[in-house]
Structure 1
Amino acid sequence: MAYHSGYGAHGSKHRARAAPDPPPLFDDTSGGYSSQPGGYPASGADVAFSVNHLLGDPMANVAMAYGSSIASHGKDMVHKELHRFVSVSKLKYFFAVDTAYVAKKLGLLVFPYTHQNWEVQYSHDVPLPPRQDLNAPDLYIPTMAFITYVLLAGMALGIQKRSPPLFSPEVLGLCASTALVWVVMEVLALLLGLYLATVRSDLSTFHLLAYSGYKYVGMILSVLTGLLFGSDGYYVALAWTSSALMYFIVRSLRTAALGPDSMGGPVPRQRLQLYLTLGAAAFQPLIIYWLTFHLVR
């Protein structure tokens, strides 16, 4: 029995000796993180401390200030290059309109025959903005009329019962680009004519864009009348809007181009200026018809 007791004690001592742990397969890299379970990074307070420490670094402040100066310098360069090609102050002048001006100007474009005074009003040698002078050209009405024409053209082509249908998303882009190209060509032709005729006036590219863009009002009225009353209504509206626009262009451009400074010039030069104005007016009905006749069937 004593031997049995000794064997049991010896066996217990043998089993109490633990085997050595196997070597780890990978090195423990969690020491770089905080002593949180799972080896995750520090909490939000520690991250905020790191950010505040970074912002408090003088080198970081210098880098941020240098980056801000570069961004400000780049912004100034963009504005400078933009002012070289487009004067923002002059562009704002052509959009200085209100509701009363827009309503009166639309009425003048549709029925200009009773209007008497066509001269642009000045105040301290500065032309009054459109909202204060009905004769001042604007770009608000041409811009909105251009967008309306493109949408109306898409609707007119969409309701035409043809096989295959004429309307597609690409049609809107085609109508817009075609109308825009015609206006650009017209403005370039007018600028060339003014240069060749040596006209001394205050007409700028924005003025010519405004006068050329007023045709979209007549185009919209012609298409709407054609959709409501057919081709006969379209041609009646086309004749009315074209004659009204021609009268408006002749009176407006003649007053602007043949100002007091050019009245005392040579007679041949005055004739060239008058022919240029008449040619610009006579070209309007052709463009209106070319851009609208296919929308009314």
Structure 2
Amino acid sequence: MAYHSGYGAHGSKHRARAAPDSPPLFDDTSGGYSSQPGGYPAPGAEVAFNVNHLLGDPMANVAMAYGSSIASHGKDIVHKELHRFVSVNKLKYFFAVDTAYVAKKLGLLVFPYTHQNWEVQYSRDVPLPPRQDLNAPDLYIPTMAFITYVLLAGMALGIQKRFSPEVLGLCASTALVWVVMEVLALLLGLYLATVRSDLSTFHLLAYSGYKYVGMILSVLTGLVFGSDGYYVALAWTSSALMYFIVRSLRTAVLGPDSVGGPAPRQRVQLYLTLGAAAFQPLIIYWLTFHLVR
């Protein structure tokens, strides 16, 4: 601020007018408020204030904690109900496979007549996983075979100029429904025959799903060699699958608990095993004959 060195007419010292300050190059926003008239806060300042106020509110913290506990409790209930119907650990057992097991099991399904030992191996009363025991059932091969069958059916229908999404969807759903019906029939038969065994729904689903391997071979042979090749492959794969089913289920259904039991019960259990095996060629034919012409 500049002052004059002299005095005025009345002997008083006069202060000179200060020069106006130059406008600042940048606004000061360190206080969180803009330089707008009236002192209104910046657009983001009110939101930040509300969030900070909410986090600092004890009632809000209690509500958030209560909501988190409800969500955690609901998650536990869902997991508990899921484990009641589908055991994740048991499901992992049926997918514990490797390349060597898959190759050997496919060979066993196509040519099972030279296989000697059909008993499932145990370690400390726990069955060995499929990658360590060739006789253990798995769900990997049935799942991949089902997908391959659907793709092969689409290719066969496309070669014959009969492909459509509706027909392919009907083919896939029919194959899946037949397997589900077969498993339910086996469960009902085991219940009526009062069979006490280690067979579960996953076991029956695995044994029922192995038919897709024979279906794939039959359709492929029919596409390459015509209907005659299809019927030859159908007869071979059906007989091989029947032999495989009988030998695999024989130990499980006619186990040690049935030894010494009533003769009628043993006959019912034997008929159940033979019926499950004899039903395989009918399903294979029903699901593949329309794909080869």
Bin of the TM-score, shorter chain as denominator length: 0.7 to 0.9
Question: 1:197–1:2: structure 2 CA closer, same or farther, 3 Å change rule?
Answer: closer
Question: 1:15–1:205: structure 2 CA closer, same or farther, 3 Å change rule?
Answer: same
Residues 145-167 of structure 1, C-alpha deviations (whole Å, 9 max, x = no match) = 111111111111111035xxxx2
Compare 247-256 and 258-267 and name the one that shifted more.
258-267
The alignment of Structure 1 onto Structure 2 pairs a total of residues equal to 293
Residues 76-135 of structure 1, C-alpha deviations (whole Å, 9 max, x = no match) = 111111122222221121111122111111111111111110001111111111111111
Q: Does 1:21 align with 2:17?
A: no
How far has the Cα of 1:43 moved from its partner?
4.3
Q: Hey, what's the Cα distance between the residues in 2 that align with 1:36 and 1:2?
A: 31
How far has the Cα of 1:47 moved from its partner?
3.6
Is contact 1:245–1:281 with CA below 8 Å preserved after alignment?
yes
Compare 132-141 and 189-198 and name the one that shifted more.
189-198
Is contact 1:30–1:39 with CA below 8 Å preserved after alignment?
no
How far has the Cα of 1:59 moved from its partner?
2.2
Q: Secondary structure at the match of 1:249?
A: helix
RMSD between aligned residues: 7.5
Compare 21-30 and 257-266 and name the one that shifted more.
21-30
How far has the Cα of 1:38 moved from its partner?
13
Is contact 2:122–2:128 with CA below 8 Å preserved after alignment?
yes
Q: Hey, what's the Cα distance between the residues in 1 that align with 2:82 and 2:139?
A: 19
Question: 1:278–1:5: structure 2 CA closer, same or farther, 3 Å change rule?
Answer: closer
Q: Secondary structure at the match of 1:9?
A: coil
Compare 73-82 and 50-59 and name the one that shifted more.
50-59
Q: Secondary structure at the match of 1:16?
A: coil
How far has the Cα of 1:238 moved from its partner?
0.8
Kindly indicate which of the two structures has a greater share of residues assigned to helix.
Answer: 1
Compare 115-124 and 151-160 and name the one that shifted more.
151-160
How far has the Cα of 1:24 moved from its partner?
33
Question: 1:24–1:230: structure 2 CA closer, same or farther, 3 Å change rule?
Answer: same
Q: Secondary structure at the match of 1:7?
A: coil
How far has the Cα of 1:220 moved from its partner?
0.8
Q: Where do 5+ consecutive residues of structure 1 fail to align?
A: none
How far has the Cα of 1:191 moved from its partner?
1.3
Q: Hey, what's the Cα distance between the residues in 1 that align with 2:111 and 2:166?
A: 35
Q: Hey, what's the Cα distance between the residues in 2 that align with 1:38 and 1:292?
A: 83
Q: Hey, what's the Cα distance between the residues in 1 that align with 2:88 and 2:123?
A: 21
Question: 1:55–1:25: structure 2 CA closer, same or farther, 3 Å change rule?
Answer: closer
Q: Where do 5+ consecutive residues of structure 2 fail to align?
A: none
How far has the Cα of 1:17 moved from its partner?
29
Is contact 2:32–2:42 with CA below 8 Å preserved after alignment?
no
Compare 244-253 and 187-196 and name the one that shifted more.
187-196
Question: 1:123–1:38: structure 2 CA closer, same or farther, 3 Å change rule?
Answer: farther
Q: Hey, what's the Cα distance between the residues in 1 that align with 2:138 and 2:272?
A: 22
Q: Hey, what's the Cα distance between the residues in 2 that align with 1:38 and 1:228?
A: 87
Question: 1:25–1:106: structure 2 CA closer, same or farther, 3 Å change rule?
Answer: closer
Q: Hey, what's the Cα distance between the residues in 2 that align with 1:43 and 1:17?
A: 39
Q: Hey, what's the Cα distance between the residues in 2 that align with 1:2 and 1:42?
A: 38
Q: Hey, what's the Cα distance between the residues in 1 that align with 2:280 and 2:89?
A: 29
